[in-house]
């Protein structure tokens, strides 16, 4: 039986040693990289990675990294590199790459190959997030934002086909023309790693995710926007595509901080949450929405909707507004439990993302405190009596030992062979045994003219 709620820790690996947002035009694109000190970042990255590794011992369901470029908000430029490191340092916890910004890649097959390789080396633990990338990424990469949505969906479809259909085959699309699609390796999970797609409530995105029966991850939004998005997702699943969505198809990024009391939690979290929203997310509209990233109609709907609802920019909101509107959850274990219970009952939440982990400028000790209190005093409330995450109940898609591999799967379908000059095929695993190789001409075949 699955647990009532999954808890995934999401790390952006911010670089907080910069001036306050009020003194900056933007934390993205134009922030001079002279603020970045590699020696400081070495210590910071080491702490960040250790925080994620600790999540397995603490009992979380998953650890998540993502891709951003040229900003202090999130400094993971190559999320598959971090995922490889985490795969080597953990053994069972799920590892989410949420995600690879597909339109920023010249060849989507590179993403297909790297995710497949990560899935194999991790023993089938990878979650593959497919994202367009924020508008600011298009300033940083020099990619054309007017084609990003079309490139995204074509790249996504190519990747899924490459994972699931035998190669080689030819792909001739609007944006990608590849004569030989035949990726080695293929992923371990069958038919492919779970695909998650983040969004902020766009009807088009929600429809596409529901159609493919993937998981939808609502990024940092208020309670009422999240409730509206989740209701729309369930409605589209039922009415348009004829199925009841699994709770695990609905995730929400909801930064959470838990401490001994409500007052203590509010006091400790305040400066770091405010850094996240006021400095880390300081992105002027001309960076966030470059011309062509969204249609004029979509932008107009967004602006009118924000005005009608009285929505402020992140960097204009007070700490109390962020808490009251549900952008963040802060409090004692009991308060946090009650707020998550309401999200399950009112929204149908199945996955809590960024639940009890790092945020903004939090120091290492505070992140570890948050993780431990969350793991010991909040997470068990939503688990089966044994307290185990779902991945510890499920069988792994790959054996964990050589003996298990031999017992369950036997030898590979084909043995490696070498063709000798006399035309015989010599199996290489036994080719060194004299009685097997006796009489064989092991000299190299003559070169053909």
Q: Which two tokens stand for residue 238?
A: 């039922």
Measure the CA–CA gap between 178 and 155, rounded to whole angstroms: 12
pLDDT confidence bin for 449, thresholds 50/70/90:
very low
Question: Angle at CA 389, nearest 5°, toward 264 and 259?
Answer: 5
User: Which residue in 283, 217, 286, 284 sits closest to 254, CA to CA?
Assistant: 217
Beta strands 177-181; 417-419: pairing state: unpaired
Helix extents (H) in 281-411: 285-288, 296-309, 319-324, 333-347, 364-373, 402-409
pLDDT tens digits for 9-44? 999 999 999 999 999 999 999 999 999 999 999 999
pLDDT tens digits for 353-374? 998 999 999 999 999 999 999 9
Angle at which helices 333-347 and 223-239 pack, to 10 degrees?
Answer: 40
Task: List the end-to-end C-alpha distance of the chain, in Å, as a whole number.
Answer: 66
User: Are 87 and 46 in contact, with CB atoms under 8 Å apart?
Assistant: no
pLDDT tens digits for 240-259? 999 999 999 999 999 999 99
Instruction: Identify the three-state secondary structure at position 220.
Output: coil
Please state, rounded to an integer, the average pLDDT across all residues of the chain: 93
Q: In the predicted model, is pLDDT for residue 441 greater than 80?
A: no
Contacts of 267 (CB under 8 A, 6+ apart): none
Q: In the predicted model, is pLDDT for residue 106 greater than 60?
A: yes
Domains of the chain are 6-392 (3.20.20.30), 411-437 (no CATH)
So what's the pLDDT on residue 254? 97
Counting residues of the chain whose pLDDT is more than 70, the rounded percentage is 95
Average pLDDT over residues 227-249: 97
Preceding omega of 168 cis (within 30 degrees of 0): yes
Beta strands 62-65; 94-101: pairing state: parallel
Angle at which helices 108-121 and 148-164 pack, to 10 degrees?
Answer: 50
Instruction: Identify the three-state secondary structure at position 25.
Output: coil
Measure the CA–CA gap between 56 and 229, rounded to whole angstroms: 31
pLDDT tens digits for 313-334? 888 899 999 999 999 999 999 9
User: Are 382 and 107 in contact, with CB atoms under 8 Å apart?
Assistant: no
pLDDT tens digits for 412-439? 889 899 999 999 999 999 999 988 877 6
So what's the pLDDT on residue 388? 96
Q: Which two tokens stand for residue 313?
A: 């920019």
So what's the pLDDT on residue 436? 84
User: Are 408 and 399 in contact, with CB atoms under 8 Å apart?
Assistant: yes
Burial zone of 335 (CB within 10 Å; 0-12 exposed, 13-18 middle, 19+ buried): middle
Count the neighbouring beta carbons within 10 Å of the beta carbon of residue 300.
Answer: 11
Q: DSSP letter string over 252-285? A: EE--EEE-SSHHHHHHHHHHHHHIIIIIIT---H
Question: Angle at CA 143, nearest 5°, toward 12 and 252?
Answer: 35
């Amino acid at each position: 039986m699955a647990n009532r709620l999954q808890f995934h820790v999401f790390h952006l690996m911010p670089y907080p040693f910069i001036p306050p947002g009020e003194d900056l035009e933007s934390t993205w694109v134009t922030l001079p990289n002279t603020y970045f000190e590699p020696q400081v970042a070495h210590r910071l990255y080491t702490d960040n990675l250790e925080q994620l590794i600790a999540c397995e011992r603490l009992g979380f369901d998953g650890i998540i990294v993502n891709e951003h470029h040229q900003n202090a908000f999130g400094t993971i430029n190559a999320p598959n590199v971090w995922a490889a490191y985490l795969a080597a340092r953990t053994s069972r916890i799920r590892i989410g790459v949420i995600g690879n910004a597909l339109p920023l890649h010249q060849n989507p097959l590179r993403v297909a190959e790297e995710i497949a390789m990560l899935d194999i080396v991790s023993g089938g633990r990878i979650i593959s997030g497919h994202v367009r990338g924020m508008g600011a990424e298009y300033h940083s990469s020099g990619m054309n934002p007017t084609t990003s949505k079309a490139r995204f969906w074509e790249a996504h479809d190519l990747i899924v086909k490459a994972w699931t259909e035998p190669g080689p085959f030819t792909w001739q699309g609007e944006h990608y023309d590849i004569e030989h699609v035949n990726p080695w390796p293929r992923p371990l999970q069958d038919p492919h790693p779970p695909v998650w797609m983040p969004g902020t409530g766009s009807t088009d995105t929600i429809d596409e995710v529901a159609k493919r029966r993937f998981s939808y991850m609502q990024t940092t939004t208020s309670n009422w926007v999240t409730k509206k998005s989740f209701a729309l997702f369930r409605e589209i699943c039922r009415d348009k595509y004829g199925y009841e969505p699994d709770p695990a198809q609905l995730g929400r990024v909801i930064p959470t901080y838990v401490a001994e009391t409500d007052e203590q939690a509010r006091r400790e979290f305040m400066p770091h949450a405010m850094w996240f929203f006021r400095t880390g997310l300081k992105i002027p509209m001309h960076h966030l929405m470059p011309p062509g990233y969204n249609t004029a109609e979509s932008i107009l709907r967004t602006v009118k909707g924000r005005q009608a609802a009285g929505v402020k920019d992140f960097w204009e909101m007070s700490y109390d507004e962020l808490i009251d509107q549900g952008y963040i959850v802060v409090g004692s274990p009991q308060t946090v439990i009650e707020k998550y219970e309401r999200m399950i009952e009112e929204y149908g939440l199945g996955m809590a993302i960024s639940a009890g982990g790092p945020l903004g400028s939090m120091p290492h000790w505070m992140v570890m405190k948050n993780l431990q209190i969350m793991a010991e005093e909040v997470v068990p409330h939503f688990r089966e009596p044994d307290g185990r995450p779902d991945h510890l109940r499920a069988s792994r898609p790959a054996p964990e030992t050589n003996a298990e591999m031999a017992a369950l799967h036997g030898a590979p379908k084909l043995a490696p062979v070498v063709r000798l000059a006399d035309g015989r095929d010599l199996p290489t695993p036994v080719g060194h045994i004299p009685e097997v190789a006796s009489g064989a001409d092991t000299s190299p075949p003559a070169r053909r003219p």
